[in-house]
Amino acid sequence: MPVRFQPSARKAIDFAMVEMERIGDPALSSLHLLLGLLEPGAEGSQAALRLLGMNPAALQLDARRDIHLARTGALLAEIDDAPEHVLERAGRISEQCGASDISDADILMAAAQDQATWAGKLLAASGVTPALLWGVFPEARGVLRHPGAPDPLAGIEMLDVTFPPTFAPALPVRTGIGYDSHRFGVGGPMILGGIEIPGDIKLVGHSDADAVCHALTDAILGGAGAGDIGELFPDTDPVNQGRSSIEMMRAACAASEKRGWRVAQVDVTVIVERPKLLPYRDAMRASLATALGLPADCVSVKAKTNEGMGWVGRGEGLACMAVATLIPMRTVTR
């Protein structure tokens, strides 16, 4: 098991020791360690938190509050707050990653996994769960930045964390928004929401031009903080010519799940003068629900006209807006 620390991890531990002395605490606690991990010098743990949309400064305030509560006896005394167990666990995580030294991201992951410590409880209560951290861990640790490096998470079974009732966190929910529009062209059928809409017009685009799926793809990627459809599928790449947009949407789900977020519900509005979409609405919902792995009542498709105004009103094309709600994945299996 590695016992050497990377410079950023060393910096976090040094900061924890300095804080312990400054505050006048008799021993190092997991909360001091967490303070160190929230310092800007701890680049890996900072990156992990940023990828999860967390504010390290706010977490630091919470850690200081808990340190104060611990000193005044307001936190339960019987808890086994052992920072050495966190560091031992970090060593095992580092070993599983095939690394020769322990990174600050390893320590953060270990702290989140160790639900017996105050730091673990604080992270869980703040929504920084091991399951979410796994999603961003390779990027934060930088282990996948080297071409050809093996997946450090391969073969590692995810822990499913259960929270004691008093620490049940308000689970974070994320929302993403997406928009797309395509011109009409001659010759049907039109592909929308993964189904064929018969008629003599189609949507023109590099892929199959399914604006519903494109808006949904961007909404999912946006909610997960995973970029946008243009980054995943550049229209300059001939491989994407005629690509199925359902496939793109599934790829967005996969990218989102890799970061620990699962699509829970989507809502779509198509703005179009004609064709009238009502007869196809349920088929679109069913098609999207199947692709997203959701029950049909978690997928909404609505259509409305633009009251004859503007380019939509003139029948030049259609526009689509989508919202996706994402929830944390409680168990990640790889």
Interface residues with Mg ion (CB under 5 A) are: 180, 214
Separation between Cα atoms, residue 247 and residue 112, nearest integer Å: 34
The least distance separating Mg ion from the CB of residue 138, rounded to whole angstroms, comes to 30
Tell me which H or E stretch contains 60.
helix 56-71
The residue among 150 and 230 lying less far from Mg ion, judged by its C-beta, is: 230
The residue among 21 and 235 lying less far from Mg ion, judged by its C-beta, is: 235
Tell me which H or E stretch contains 137.
helix 130-141
The dihedral sign for the CA sequence 277, 282, 284, 288: positive
334 token code pair = 């790889």
Position with the least CB separation from Mg ion: 214
The least distance separating Mg ion from the CB of residue 284, rounded to whole angstroms, comes to 16
The residue among 180 and 273 lying less far from Mg ion, judged by its C-beta, is: 180
The least distance separating Mg ion from the CB of residue 151, rounded to whole angstroms, comes to 31
Residue type, 167: F
The least distance separating Mg ion from the CB of residue 208, rounded to whole angstroms, comes to 9
Please tell me whether residue 131 adopts helix, strand or coil conformation.
Answer: helix
CA-nearest of 90, 122, 124, 123 to 105 is 90
The residue among 19 and 180 lying less far from Mg ion, judged by its C-beta, is: 180
Beta strands in 217-274 (DSSP E): 261-271
The residue among 30 and 181 lying less far from Mg ion, judged by its C-beta, is: 181
Q: Which residue, chain included where needed, has tokens 């997203």?
A: 292
Separation between Cα atoms, residue 183 and residue 152, nearest integer Å: 44
Q: Which residue, chain included where needed, has tokens 């964390």?
A: 161
The residue among 81 and 180 lying less far from Mg ion, judged by its C-beta, is: 180
The least distance separating Mg ion from the CB of residue 295, rounded to whole angstroms, comes to 26
The least distance separating Mg ion from the CB of residue 11, rounded to whole angstroms, comes to 45
Separation between Cα atoms, residue 213 and residue 292, nearest integer Å: 11
